Amino acid sequence: MKVDPATLPWRDAYKLLIGSVLPRPIAFVSTVDLQGHSNLAPFSFFSGICAKPMMVCFAPMIRGSDGKKKDTLANIEATKQFVINIVGERIAAQMNDCAIEFPPEVDEFTYTGLTKAPSHSVLPPRVQESDVQLECTLHQIVTLGELPGAGSLVIGRVVCVHVRDELFEGGKINSELLRPIGRMAGQTYTRAVSDTFDLERK
């Protein structure tokens, strides 16, 4: 079967994309607005880009319900700062709850009971219960359209990395302890370390 995605309604194109690119890691992004309200939301169009400079990216789409930009993007445009909290299984349920479309003034930390930890170099707080947190300053936003189905690529420079001491072994993060999860299509998640295999390179 061959599909030209440009001919599909955006929701069908979205289903095709999220069913093809998976499992996806999850950036649990904390931001603040100019009044200081905190915001927390998950984004699985997320990737690392390079190590030095350490750069990461994620992509908030335009909201399907009202055609507006998501609070996370509006806050980053205003403050140029964000934190990516890595999602392990322990905080999966709270992360999932933060995908609810709350009005901008709702603080998802309060809603979920997650704890704000002050950041070192940026204003948005970190999620204390997350085992790895990346403090980022905005490098660039690439806008790829303004209608539902479109989105923006947010590229950030990581200016400070926090790793829970117990997970950091010889300069590496122990993924068995991190227990990262990935997002599949729909409402399904996967445990990343339960079924791994190694391939040697010659």
Ligand X SMILES: Cc1cc2nc3c(=O)[nH]c(=O)nc-3n(C[C@H](O)[C@H](O)[C@H](O)COP(=O)(O)O)c2cc1C
Closest to ligand X by CB, 78 vs 169, is: 78
CB of 1 to ligand X, least distance (A): 25
Number of neighbours of residue 187 by Cβ within 10 angstroms: 7
Taking the CA atoms of 189, 191, 196 and 201 in sequence, report the sign of the dihedral they define: positive
DSSP labels for 155-174? EEEEEEEEE-GGGEETTEE-
Q: Does 43 bind ligand X (CB under 6 A)?
A: yes
Q: Does 26 bind ligand X (CB under 6 A)?
A: yes
CB of 14 to ligand X, least distance (A): 10
Report the distance separating Cα 108 and Cα 149, nearest Å. 24
Tell which positions 117-146 bind ligand X, by CB under 6 A.
none
32, 38, 45, 132: residue in contact with ligand X (rule CB under 6 A):
45
Q: Does 96 bind ligand X (CB under 6 A)?
A: yes
DSSP labels for 97-161? HTTS---TT--HHHHHTPPEE--SSSSSPEETTSSEEEEEEEEEEEE--SSBTBBEEEEEEEEEE
Q: Does 162 bind ligand X (CB under 6 A)?
A: no
Q: Does 42 bind ligand X (CB under 6 A)?
A: yes
Q: With CB under 6 A as the contact rule, which of the stretches 1-9, 65-73, 115-123, 165-173 interacts with ligand X?
A: 65-73
Which residue ranges make up the site for ligand X (CB under 6 A)? 26, 39, 41-45, 59-61, 70-72, 96, 99, 101, 151, 183
